[in-house]
Amino acid sequence: MNCHAAASIIALVHDNASAKFLRMLGLTPQQIRTIICYQAEYQAIMRCSLRDPDAIAPVTIIVPSRASAEWIAGKFDGCAINKLETGLDWERRKIGRPKAVRSMSGAERARKCRERKKLKAA
C-alpha cells in the first residue's frame, strides 16, 4: 500500500467458455469485457496506495488498453488518461489466416510462357 504506481499487463481473452455462458444469459459483449477483463485489471491495480482512503500522493497506473483506462478512470475522481509513449510503431494486422493464393491452371501458365517468349523475341 506504500506503492504509488502499478501496471496491469494482464492479457485476458474474453471469448472462452465463461464468456459464452454470459452471452447465453443475455449479456452484451461490452458487459462481458467489463466483467472478465476490466474487473481483473481493477483488482490488480488496487494493490497499490489506491486502497488507502487517506492517501494523497498521486498514483500512476498503466493498463493495456484505452478502453480499460477509461473504465478504471471512471471509478476515481480527478483521474487523467494519457497514452504511454513507447516509441514503438505497431500496426494492427488483420486477424486470422491469410487467404490462400490461387495457383494458375495449366492453360494460364502456358499463356504466360508464350507471352514471355514473344517479349524475349521482340
Q: How far is CA 34 from CA 22, 45, 83, in A?
A: 12, 15, 21
Locus of grid cell 492517501: 55
Q: Is the pLDDT of residue 90 over 70?
A: no
**Span 93-103, average pLDDT:** 79
Chain-centroid distance of CA 8 in Å reads 13
Q: Is the pLDDT of residue 20 over 70?
A: yes
pLDDT at 7: 81
pLDDT at 4: 80
- Rounded (10°) CA dihedral 68, 74, 78, 80: 20
- Per the model's pLDDT, the better-predicted residue between 12 and 32 turns out to be 32
Model pLDDT for residues 71-87, shown as the tens digit of each residue: 999 988 888 898 888 77
Q: How far is CA 59 from CA 9, 63, 81, 119, in A?
A: 17, 13, 12, 70
pLDDT at 13: 66
Residues 13, 18, 20: CA angle, nearest 5 degrees: 90
Q: Is the pLDDT of residue 15 over 70?
A: no
